[in-house]
Structure 1
């Protein structure tokens, strides 16, 4: 979470969002754009965690339904 706040572009790149990470890094370079970039980085990370949790839940439901 700290990486998403301090270096949101790098956080996005590490999560597999290359183009978003580059755009976020360009936004972060400007002093005014750093805060929106940090918010975008945290929101993107939370969205990735929610999607992973959803996929795991769906896989567990499919496994439970096949028993």
Structure 2
């Protein structure tokens, strides 16, 4: 999470969002754009975590025969 705030473009690239990471990195290069880039990176990171939890829940339910 700290990486998403300090280096938002690199954080997005490490999470597998290469094009978003490049755009975010370009936005981060401007002083005014750093704050929106950091917010975008944190939101993207949170969304990735939520999607991972969702997939894990679906796999658990599938193993139990509920889906």
Provide TM-score, normalisation by structure 1: 0.96
How many pairs are equivalent? 66
Partner of 1:61: 61
Partner of 2:2: 2
How much does 1:47 deviate? 0.2
Partner of 1:45: 45
How much does 1:46 deviate? 0.1
Question: What do residues 7-52 of structure 1 show as CA deviations (whole Å, max 9, x unaligned)?
Answer: 0100000000000000000000000000000000000000000000
What residue ranges of structure 2 are gaps of 5+ in the alignment?
A: none
After superposition, residues 13-32 of structure 1 pair within 5 angstroms as 13-32=13-32
Provide TM-score, normalisation by structure 2: 0.96
More helix, by proportion: 1
Partner of 1:35: 35
What residue ranges of structure 1 are gaps of 5+ in the alignment?
A: none
Moved over 4 A (4+): none
